[in-house]
Chains A and B, each alone.
Chain A
Amino acid sequence: MFNQYFGYYLLSKNIITKEKLKFVLSDENKTRVKLGVLAIDAGYMTSSEVTEIHKMQMAQDRRFGDLAVEKGFLSEDQLMLLLSKQKESHTTLGQVLVDENIMNYEDYEQLLIQYKKDSGFSDEEIKILKSNDSDAILELFIDMENTDEVKLFKDYVELFIRNIIRFVDRNVVIGKPYLAEAYTYENHAVQDIVGFYALSTGLSASDEVIANFATIYAHMLISEVNELAKDAIGEFMNCQNGLFISNLYHKGINCNLEPQDYKEKGIITSQNKLFVLPCELTFGKFDILFNIKGV
């Protein structure tokens, strides 16, 4: 997931275009990760040390790892670790950025440092992002007190993200959730859940994101927010909530679904718990809305 988070950061800083990011994150791009990039990622070597080894390689036909160990830049243990990581990685954003001459090793190293600073992630948190463990990543972002309501919200979001990955975009990333008393939307696909819990669930996004989302989910070109687009988003919500309710049912909790609805340009006000989770896809941002009205 680190590639996605770092990629969206570069996009927000205009360092990389949306098209380039999509290419980098897509399956068609299977660049073998070089040890130099992995060593910088891991913080074992500086960019100048990597450049120095590359210069040495131009003069002598020897492997990067052997030279780095010989120069004392890497220990044997660190080299073994990097080699095992190299086997399991298909690509890293850093590798493609360097290969495509978008930046050199020095720029890459500086951007990584800047990203850590801007995002506020600790080294341990960056490690979690790199782990691709979606449960751990969710825990990292949803650092709210673990009440029954927060647990319910986490269960909902976990399933939502799995469905986004399955049906819409595997490069989804989540941001920090927050509780809102009022929320303004451009488009809001909403579906209520009734029974043991009284919940209002929703997906909110701009026209452009709704049209793209609907196009991918419905497997047909939908260029604007028309009835088909609204229907496709509503159907996605319906499938998400159907699965969520089935999961609750297996835990002995009985709820039912109300028909989905679609609203444009409005405000939600809530005296209850309205959780908002910002998410980002390769084609734009959306919010997951989860309003606990009662138990």
Chain B
Amino acid sequence: MARILIVDDSAISRMKLKDIFETDCHEVVGVAEDGLEGIEQFKILKPDLVTLDVTMPNMMGVECLKEIIAIDADANVVMISALGKGDVILDALNAGALNYITKPFEEKQVLKTIREALE
């Protein structure tokens, strides 16, 4: 079981991800609606894993990722985004993301990816 923080500006995506994680016996310790809130929650909650959207208001996902990695270089972050183009994926992986899932996502794919990220 892992303690997970979900950072996504879409309420529907947050709800779907929370359902998927809790069905697989993980604990969703926090949800944040944008990058700034995500960083604050990361500092307080120190989760085992963060799922991070790319396109968000206030602070975009890759900037948020860089801040999180600056706080904890060993942070486990998986990006989940509708934007599946190569340069953004590469940016995120270079900045320290462990993996990248494109929306619309499937439950099996999400669980497989986070299991691999937590190994």
Interface residues of A (CB under 8 A from B): 167, 218, 227-228, 231-232, 234-235, 238-239, 241-243, 245-246, 248-249, 254, 256-259
User: Could you list which residues of chain B lie within 8 angstroms of chain A, going by C-beta atoms?
Assistant: 9-13, 55-57, 81-88, 102-104
Give me 28 A-to-B residue pairs in the complex whose CB atoms sit less than 8 angstroms apart, sorted by A's number: A228-B12, A231-B10, A231-B11, A231-B12, A232-B12, A234-B10, A235-B103, A238-B10, A238-B103, A239-B103, A242-B81, A242-B82, A242-B84, A242-B102, A242-B103, A243-B84, A245-B85, A246-B83, A246-B84, A248-B85, A249-B86, A256-B83, A257-B55, A257-B82, A259-B9, A259-B55, A259-B56, A259-B57
Asked if residues B56 and A242 are in contact (CB atoms below 8 Å), the reply is no
Alpha-carbon distance A248/B81, docked complex (angstroms): 17
- Once the chains are docked, how many angstroms separate the CA of A258 from the CA of B82? 12
- Which residue of chain A has its CB nearest to the CB of B83? A242
- How far is B81's CA from A259's CA once the two chains are assembled, in angstroms? 12
Taking A246-B85, A259-B57 as contacts, is the C-beta distance between A239 and B12 under 8 angstroms?
no
Q: Least Cβ distance of A244 to chain B in Å?
A: 10
Chain B interface, DSSP helix/strand/loop, else mixed: loop
Q: A235 CA to B103 CA in the complex, in Å?
A: 9
- The reply to whether B87 and A257 form a contact with Cβ atoms under 8 Å apart is no
Q: Tell whether, in the assembled complex, residue B83 and residue A235 are in contact, meaning their CB atoms are under 8 Å apart.
A: no
**A249 and B10 form a contact (CB under 8 A):** no
| Minimum CB distance partner of A261 in chain B | B57
